Structure 1
Amino acid sequence: MKDNFSSQSKLYAKFRPHYPAALYDHVYSKVKSFQTAWDCGTGNGQVASVLSDKFDQVIASDISKNQLAQAQQKSNIEYIVSPAEHTSIEGSSVDLITVAQALHWFDVPAFIKETQRVASKDAVLAYWGYGLLSISAEVDPIIKEFHDDAMNGYWDPERYILTNEYKAIDLDLADLELKYFKHEVKWSLADLEGYLNTWSSVRKYIERNNTNLVNDIIDKLRDKWQGGTITFPLFVYTGTIKN
């Protein structure tokens, strides 16, 4: 699994979007037992923190020590540095596995085996991601051009698995269901700048060219920026793990 986010872990913790209560409620509606959840690829632990309010115990894993260092500490969350495909989690012990905006980095066949190993009877796997943000009719084309054209060649190939809403991934789940949500947030132009600087493509562009095109985009948007609501489109899959 690639680690593209350790270098900007503080930015990631501050500016990456969270997920709406409606998404969590939908996931919880599929779960039969709320003893143990595993948030896989937890990053800075934002999902694990929410799960900890519902589950007795949460295990949150990531390959990045820097990301985990930004995570909120709670008595019922255990953070472990571990790849998704091979963990120290006890077999047949997990009632819910979540993967937020991370599945495209996994070795899928190995991850399937690990989910089946750790899953309790009727355990649920929920995995989701979000698409390109929407701001306004004036701003959206500029952000899209930056994403599609200016950053072309700087995205990892796995990025396109995500932008295709994981349609190419089969995790061998029963009763698979896909639903759509949206996350809305009030952002300033500085917030948008911070978020764009978390993109892995931006970090690669800086490393190769010793300049940051985000600065140019923000300058271009100053006259067009009117604030308001930022919308992230979300998709979430849920299914029962076969074991």
Structure 2
Amino acid sequence: MPSNADPIRNWFEQGGRAYARFRPEYPPELAAFLASVAPDNRMAVDVGCGNGQLTQLLASHFDAVVGLDPSADQIANAIPGKRITYQCAPAEQLPLSDGSASLITAAQAAHWFNLPSFYQEARRAAAPDGVLALVSYGVLNLESALNERFQRFYWNEIGPYWPAERKLVDTGYATIDFPFEELAAPPFEIRVHWRLSQFLGYLLTWSAVRSAKEAGREELLLGFANDISSAWGDENIQRAIVWPINMRIGRL
């Protein structure tokens, strides 16, 4: 976990349009489950909401949903909704009234937070028996003919360029300090069928890819793109891609 004094780079300050276009969407069943464990359906707050992928799913279950993100670019590309209000704000300074939030979520975002400060704010903003859910999705799996090459790229080639916080995602948040009464969650996964351009577009949203580019290692990226393109075959073929969803859920 980053120390309280260390500033954390916002890797998604720019690129909200690509993030909105290429990031995989959560299954609706995830939002339904999160709503089922909340004490009521008054208000859900999605912290580090990005372009609102989980935010817009929560709107089907709550009277009001607030999406918060420190990046103005992400908010500018957020998915609108009648019950949704978006606002630029960091996780450590939630613009919420005391005791107002029935559910607080952080989807693929908590590893960037100063967690002690965020937890303090979550406790303040949570309604009685409110729920906090830290959601992440792990390393994707491709079809068998492609998966070995991808896993080698992820772990060995691009691996050194991931920020240290990424290790928390790789472990499914299992090592994150989570000082709350934990609730069990059923298994969920993200499953899509993408063309080659969609898959490569998703990789371009990775902080590690941006870091490798800044380090002048574009040949590493091009080498993988060439290999996976050859293995993919016809670029218009839609291939199955699966991400496991991991959660830490607690009663505040």
Shift of the alpha carbon at 1:152? 2.9
Q: Is the contact made by 1:12 and 1:198 (CA closer than 8 Å) also made in structure 2? A: yes
Q: Is the contact made by 1:196 and 1:214 (CA closer than 8 Å) also made in structure 2? A: no
**Could you report, residue by residue, the CA deviation over 1:224-243 in whole angstroms, capped at 9, with x for unpaired residues?**
216431111111222211xx
Q: 2-side partners of 1:225 and 1:47: how far apart?
A: 30
Aligned to 2:108: 101
Shift of the alpha carbon at 1:178? 4.3
Aligned to 1:118: 125
Range 145-154 or range 185-194, more displaced: 145-154
TM-score (norm. length: structure 1): 0.93
SS of residue paired to 2:223: helix
Closer, same or farther: CA 150–221 of 1 in aligned 2, 3 Å = same
**Could you report, residue by residue, the CA deviation over 1:60-103 in whole angstroms, capped at 9, with x for unpaired residues?**
11110001110022232221111101122111000000110111
After TM superposition, list the pairs within 5 Å mapping 1:70-149 onto structure 2. Answer: 70-149=77-156
SS of residue paired to 1:138: helix
Range 207-216 or range 231-240, more displaced: 207-216
Q: 2-side partners of 1:93 and 1:2: how far apart?
A: 29
Aligned to 1:239: 250
After TM superposition, list the pairs within 5 Å mapping 1:9-20 onto structure 2. Answer: 9-20=16-27
Range 184-193 or range 142-151, more displaced: 142-151
Shift of the alpha carbon at 1:166? 0.9
SS of residue paired to 1:42: coil
Aligned to 1:65: 72
SS of residue paired to 2:90: coil
Shift of the alpha carbon at 1:170? 2.5
Count of residue pairs the alignment pairs up: 241
- Structure 2: which amino acid aligns with 1:229? A
Aligned to 1:187: 194
Range 231-240 or range 187-196, more displaced: 231-240
Aligned to 1:48: 55
CA-atom RMSD in angstroms: 1.6
Aligned to 1:172: 179
SS of residue paired to 1:223: helix
- Of 212, 215, 223, 1:208 maps to 215
Unmatched 5+ stretches in structure 1: none
Shift of the alpha carbon at 1:137? 1.6
**Could you report, residue by residue, the CA deviation over 1:91-138 in whole angstroms, capped at 9, with x for unpaired residues?**
100000011011111111111110100000010111111111111222
Aligned sequence identity (%): 33
TM-score (norm. length: structure 2): 0.90
Aligned to 2:37: 30
Q: 1-side partners of 2:19 and 2:219: how far apart?
A: 17
Q: Is the contact made by 1:37 and 1:55 (CA closer than 8 Å) also made in structure 2? A: yes
After TM superposition, list the pairs within 5 Å mapping 1:211-222 onto structure 2. Answer: 211=218, 213-222=220-229
After TM superposition, list the pairs within 5 Å mapping 1:142-161 onto structure 2. Answer: 142-161=149-168
Range 73-82 or range 195-204, more displaced: 73-82
Range 187-196 or range 135-144, more displaced: 135-144
Answering whether residue 9 of structure 2 is matched by residue 2 of structure 1, we say yes
Shift of the alpha carbon at 1:210? 6.3
